[in-house]
Amino acid sequence: MSQHLLMIEDDARLAHMVGEYLGQSGFVISHAPNAQAGLTRLQSGDAVPDLVILDLMLPDMDGLEVCRRIRAMGAGLGQTPVESPPATCWRPPARPSMASGRWAALQWSSPP
């Protein structure tokens, strides 16, 4: 059975690239282009993701607020793991992101 990931990311090119890569690795990817679309998709209950990949710098809502709202959802959604790749590959994630309910930061390496 494939793992379902919901990616909440406003950069369409980045979402396509990461989605294609993860899709080749056997993951089923759903993409939401902004915070409200991601929260609506989660609340619809169509398919509860195994993981949410969350951009922290979204145009319509702060990513940390999105994470807080996910944590406040019932029906098991509040326990869904949320990962946020850091905006830069060399800087560690800030403490406030952990306080919002994020599990940990993904370690991304950038090409040389």
pTM for the full predicted model: 0.76
Q: What is the pLDDT of residue 108?
A: 44
Reading the block at residue 42, the tokens are: 């989660």
Residue pLDDT tens, the chain, 112 long: 679 999 999 999 999 999 999 999 999 999 999 999 999 999 887 778 999 999 988 999 998 899 899 989 877 777 888 988 765 443 444 444 444 555 444 444 444 4
Q: In sequence order, what E strands does 1-112 have?
A: 4-8, 28-32, 51-54, 82-83
pLDDT given for residue 87 in this prediction: 56
When the candidates are 3.40.50.2300, 3.40.190.10, 3.40.430.10, 3.40.50.880, the CATH number that belongs to 4-99 is 3.40.50.2300
> Would you state the structure tokens that stand for residue 83, as one six-digit string?
């990962």
Question: How is the chain split into domains, by residue range?
Answer: 4-99
Q: Give the closest residue to 15 by CA, choosing from 45, 54, 46, 44.
A: 54
